[in-house]
Structure 1
Amino acid sequence: MPEVRFTVQWPDDSISSCYSPSTVVHDFLRAGERYPLADFMTRSRAALNLASDRVRLKYGYACSSAMDQLNQLEARALTFQSHPDAIVTVVALRP
């Protein structure tokens, strides 16, 4: 199953390197796009859950790496919840 690595820039300009076990992430995120925090998290949840489901369909078990990545994004997003104008930028998506 082809994986995708993606890089995001948080509202404080910090960078996170992220992982998806499936190219489905391309259906939800675009390199160079800026997303309001809530929108980014909605897209990330959908992408990583669907990616994990694709792994389950192919191999018979969910992808713990996708769920770990989602948990990391959720934890990081919490630090910006009090910033109503928080924007997350998808810097890159790559194989």
Structure 2
Amino acid sequence: MTQDILTGTPVFDDAGDQVGKVADTSNAEKIGIITETGSRFWVPKQMMAYRDQRWTLEPGYTEISTAEAEAQQEERDLDEANAETFPASDPPSFTLGNEGKGN
């Protein structure tokens, strides 16, 4: 790649529409992109090209990745909400032990 990819750099699709901005460049093989809605997805570096003084995804790549990114974000949100429900804040109103039984 002839130009460095910096965090915050806009990324465009092959039609010239901005799909998001670079969010993570720490991976040696992929670039993390964040969309305006907050969804994140990874793009293999070979699927990006520096054309017309801006970073562009290779043709056809965003047709799959945008929908996939939305689905992945929804799944992460559900997993996070599920994780926040455990352990339950209130203990159960009964116990399974022998406490209080007249044996």
Fold conserved between structures, TM > 0.5 = no
Task: Tell which has more relative contact order, 1 or 2 (C-alpha 8 A, sep 6+).
Answer: 1
Higher helix share: 1
TM-score of the superposition, structure 2-length normalised? 0.34
TM-score of the superposition, structure 1-length normalised? 0.36
